Amino acid sequence: MRFWVMKSEPDVFSIDDLKREKKTGWDSVRNYQARNSMRDDMQVGDLVLYYHSNAEPSGVAGVAKVVGPAIADPTQFDRKSDYYDEASKKDAPTWLMVTVGFVEKFASVIPLEALKAEKALAGMPLIQKGQRLSVMPLSKEHFVKVLSMAGAKTSVS
DNA sequence: GCCAACGTTGGC
DNA sequence: GCCAACGTTGGC
């Protein structure tokens, strides 16, 4: 199993929204690298750190899980969507999404600042300067470290 | 709201 | 294929 960070603006879709809805299609990703991660490397059962961006504070808000494989993102075919992609073909969709399920909301958000200050997380892709991917991998060790910082209930075997 | 970082587009 | 212009992300 692999471990991931997935980012969402809480004004758009927060960990509380995920908790209420139980699961959601991770649509609207329009970055090839993030798409390729979902298509090639994500598997059902993988665990996800749920990151709030453009938030107060920005940071890891909880844990989610990949519960459905990469399928066509319907927003690319929806003319009314901001994410409509005229060039994408139904039989060969450009953009994909996985389905993500709620696992746990942390007692408090682990702010980006705290992640950067933690020596054991050096090298974690999320905290590298200039990274803007909405879906990115991290190591099991880093994942477990963030769980312990959060006092999380989730455990990794 | 500012602006640095960086991906994408398009002229050549 | 280069690279300037432009758009987006996201911390602050």
Q: What span, in angstroms and rounded, lies between the C-alpha atoms of A157 and A148?
A: 14
What domains does chain A contain, in order, with CATH numbers? 3-150 (3.10.590.10)
Bases along strand B below 7 A from a protein CB: 5-8
Q: What span, in angstroms and rounded, lies between the C-alpha atoms of A39 and A135?
A: 11
Q: Please name the helix (run of DSSP H) or strand (run of DSSP E) that holds residue A67, with its range, or none.
A: strand A59-72
Place of tokens 């990794």: A156
For chain A, which residues score pLDDT lower than 50?
A: none
Per residue in A103-125, pLDDT (tens digit) is: 999 999 999 999 999 999 999 99
Q: What is the pLDDT of residue A80?
A: 87
Q: What is the pLDDT of residue A157?
A: 83
Nucleotide nearest to A35 (CA to C1'): B7
Is residue A50 a contact partner of residue A22, using CB atoms and an 8 Å limit?
no
Q: What is the pLDDT of residue A87?
A: 87
B1 C1' to A69 CA distance, Å: 39
Number of helices and strands in chain A (H, E) = 4, 6
Per residue in A90-103, pLDDT (tens digit) is: 888 999 999 999 99
> Which among A155, A153, A126 is positioned nearest to A60, based on CA atoms?
A126
Q: What is the pLDDT of residue A109?
A: 97
Nucleotide nearest to A130 (CA to C1'): B5
Q: What span, in angstroms and rounded, lies between the C-alpha atoms of A150 and A31?
A: 29
List of A residues 8-67 with CB within 7 A of strand C? 9, 30, 53-55, 58
Residue A90 phi, psi dihedral angles, 5° rounding: -55, -35
Q: Please name the helix (run of DSSP H) or strand (run of DSSP E) that holds residue A97, with its range, or none.
A: strand A96-111
List of A residues 119-148 with CB within 7 A of strand B? 129-132
C4 C1' to A31 CA distance, Å: 22
Q: What span, in angstroms and rounded, lies between the C-alpha atoms of A66 and A57?
A: 25
Q: What is the pLDDT of residue A118?
A: 95
- CA triplet A16, A17, A22: central angle to 5 degrees? 100
Is residue A26 a contact partner of residue A6, using CB atoms and an 8 Å limit?
yes
Q: What is the pLDDT of residue A129?
A: 86
Q: What is the pLDDT of residue A134?
A: 93
| pTM for the model | 0.94
